[in-house]
């Protein structure tokens, strides 16, 4: 577990995104400790989410507590499974030459950042759980925390891909041009990054965010409505975005 924490700490300090290390490949990103750390941090935040069902139900719903602890890391890992093939294709379009294993290593870094930020917000979730019984407020609070951590994680991924693109791009050397007087014009400047490729990858970021949001909806409930019995999964209906709008309306109508 100590190695898990060390690896997560190096991710937070940006060591995994060092341009010099990235130029040498993905070997400095250790999959085992990162996966272990992600599972641990996901479980921690899941426990904070499930705490609401323990404190607002009679008798307390410890089943929801356990289910939430499992579901939070599952959201991120299942989202990774679903979006991994598209990441491989989009990174190739971006100009990043990575094999499947190195692509997985790269992807685990933003997932680790995402879950670390989320776990750090866990005590705040616990604080509000102890101070309110509003189910709709707790739902929106958790959606907000997931969104914040997700945006930070995706920003880290985009930064690393930009650095990889620069590190793996072949050096561009301009050809001197002879002038009529026998002199030489200056060499051409380095070729600028390809904006179209980066725009293409931003499309993938939107896809990833949508898949992650809907994955959370598919695996609900995480908090557990106080007026409903415990269910491991709810029936499929609507989508997360419609539910957020509905929840906002119900929160402010009371």
21-69 pLDDT, tens digit per residue, is 877 778 888 889 999 999 999 999 999 999 999 999 888 999 999 999 9
d(CA 160, CA 153): 11
pTM: 0.83
d(CA 50, CA 219): 14
User: What pLDDT does residue 169 have?
Assistant: 62
d(CA 159, CA 185): 35
**Per-residue pLDDT tens digits for 68-118:** 999 999 999 999 999 989 888 877 777 667 788 888 888 899 899 999 999
pLDDT over 90 for what percent of the chain? 37
Model confidence at 196: pLDDT above 70: no
Q: Choose between 194 and 149: higher pLDDT.
A: 149
Which residues are CB-contacts of 63 (< 8 A; sequence separation ≥ 6)? Answer: 230
User: What pLDDT does residue 193 have?
Assistant: 47
Rg (CA), the chain: 23
Domain boundaries, the chain: 2-169+191-252
Q: Choose between 173 and 80: higher pLDDT.
A: 80
**Per-residue pLDDT tens digits for 223-248:** 988 888 899 998 877 778 888 888 88
- Give the tokens for residue 201: 């990858």
Which residues are CB-contacts of 82 (< 8 A; sequence separation ≥ 6)? Answer: 211, 215
């Amino acid at each position: 577990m100590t190695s898990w924490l060390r690896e997560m700490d190096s991710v937070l300090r940006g060591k995994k995104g060092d341009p010099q290390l990235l130029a040498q490949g993905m070997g400095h990103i250790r999959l085992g400790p990162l996966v272990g750390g992600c599972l641990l941090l996901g479980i921690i935040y899941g426990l904070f989410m499930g705490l609401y069902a323990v404190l607002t139900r009679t008798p307390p719903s410890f089943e929801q507590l356990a289910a939430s602890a499992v579901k939070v890391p599952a959201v991120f890992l299942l989202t990774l499974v679903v979006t991994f093939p598209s990441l491989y294709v989009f990174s190739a379009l971006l100009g990043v030459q990575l094999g499947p294993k190195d692509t997985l290593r790269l992807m685990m870094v933003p997932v680790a950042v995402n879950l670390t930020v989320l776990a750090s917000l866990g005590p705040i979730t616990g604080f509000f759980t102890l101070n309110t019984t509003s189910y709709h407020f707790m739902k929106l609070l958790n959606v907000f925390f997931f969104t914040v951590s997700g945006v930070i994680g995706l920003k880290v991924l985009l930064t690393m891909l930009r650095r990889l693109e620069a590190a793996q791009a072949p050096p561009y050397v301009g050809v001197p041009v002879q002038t009529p007087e026998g002199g030489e014009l200056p060499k051409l400047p380095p070729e600028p990054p390809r904006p179209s490729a980066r725009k293409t990858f931003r499309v993938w970021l939107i896809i990833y965010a949508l898949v992650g949001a809907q994955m959370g909806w598919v695996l609900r409930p995480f908090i557990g409505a106080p007026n409903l019995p415990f269910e491991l999964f709810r029936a499929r209906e609507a989508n997360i975005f419609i539910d957020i709008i509905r929840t906002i309306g119900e929160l402010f109508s009371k």
